[in-house]
Amino acid sequence: MIYIEDLHAEIEGKSVLNGINLVVKAGEVHAIMGPNGAGKSSLSRIIAGHPAYNIRSGSIEYEINLKKKNLLDMGVHERALNGIFMSFQYPVEVNGLSNMEFLRSAFNELSKFHGSEELDALDFAEFAEKKIKALGMNTDLLERELNVAFSGGEKKQNEIIQMAILSPRLCFLDETDSGLDIDALRTVASGIESFTNKHRAIVIITHYHRILEYVNVDKVHILKDGRIVSSGDSSLAKEIEKHGYKNLG
């Protein structure tokens, strides 16, 4: 689904990615692990189209309907409409904007893009509540202002809710597990697990092995100094848990 080749990128003149190669196929779940400052968040933000990054070289191709498109040519909201989703490590608060209104607008933009039916306020509320209940999360979040006065756990849950409602094809989940207590972690993890299917690819970015106990992953990559230094199956994550990142790269 996504083909990243020899990607070099910088932000404010400082290199963050130094030759990333990564292929994620439909139906796969990958985990990207690594120490602080390794470039994990940068990678997901570049995929989502964050304008602060400068791509020095390399390519990212995104496959839709068996056709490969140059992702770097696509605008931020265009990428989202085409099924790319990045959950935020620190979801942004927007005062005054109701979560429901935000979700409905995003859902309807997507519907418009795909030529499917837009939902009015009542139908959407019903649809959203169903989705949220299926995730085992609290529908009260819908009535509040977008992320405003949400606890850390609620913000992360709200990202998963957005993912469930927008139903993207490629999801980069940036430290969705950090700052969660064990119950919240289970809720979020089972949300992710239930979201996997053969048409969708999920990339979990994390510091910790913890979340991988709840979500089955096909591949684990270790990112260090802007490069993938090691790839393997889930046993690699256990190695890291034992020995840390020091001996890699």
What gap in Å lies between CA 43 and CA 197, rounded to an integer? 23
What gap in Å lies between CA 203 and CA 181, rounded to an integer? 21
User: Which range binds another protein by CB under 8 A, 46-54, 56-64, 65-73, 215-223?
Assistant: 46-54
Mark residues 151-170: x for contact with another protein by CB under 8 A, - for none.
-----------x---x----
- Taking each helix axis as running N to C, give the angle between helix 152-166 and helix 99-114, from 0 to 180 degrees, rounded to the nearest 10: 20
Site for another protein in 209-228 (CB under 8 A): none
User: Which range binds another protein by CB under 8 A, 1-9, 32-40, 78-86, 224-232?
Assistant: 78-86
What gap in Å lies between CA 144 and CA 150, rounded to an integer? 9
Which one of residues 60, 110, 160, 180 is an interface residue with another protein (CB under 8 A)? Answer: 110
> 85 or 245, CB closer to another protein?
85
Which one of residues 57, 105, 116, 216 is an interface residue with another protein (CB under 8 A)? Answer: 105
C-alpha 219 chain-centroid distance = 16
Which one of residues 23, 76, 121, 134 is an interface residue with another protein (CB under 8 A)? Answer: 76
What gap in Å lies between CA 40 and CA 235, rounded to an integer? 20
Q: How far is the CB of 113 from another protein (least distance, A)?
A: 7
Which one of residues 98, 167, 178, 190 is an interface residue with another protein (CB under 8 A)? Answer: 98
86 in contact with another protein (CB under 8 A): yes
Is residue 2 a contact partner of residue 71, using CB atoms and an 8 Å limit?
Answer: yes
Three-class DSSP labels, 83-148: CEEEECCCCCCCCCCEHHHHHHHHHHHHHHHHCCCCCCHHHHHHHHHHHHHHCCCCHHHHHCECCC
12 in contact with another protein (CB under 8 A): yes
92 in contact with another protein (CB under 8 A): yes
Total of residues contacting another protein (CB under 8 A): 34
What gap in Å lies between CA 5 and CA 165, rounded to an integer? 31
In this structure, what token pair is assigned to residue 151?
A: 């606890």
Q: How far is the CB of 198 from another protein (least distance, A)?
A: 23
The residues of the shown chain that bind another protein, judged by CB under 8 A, are 11-12, 48-52, 76-77, 79-81, 85-86, 88, 90-92, 94-98, 101-102, 105-106, 109-110, 113, 145-146, 162, 166
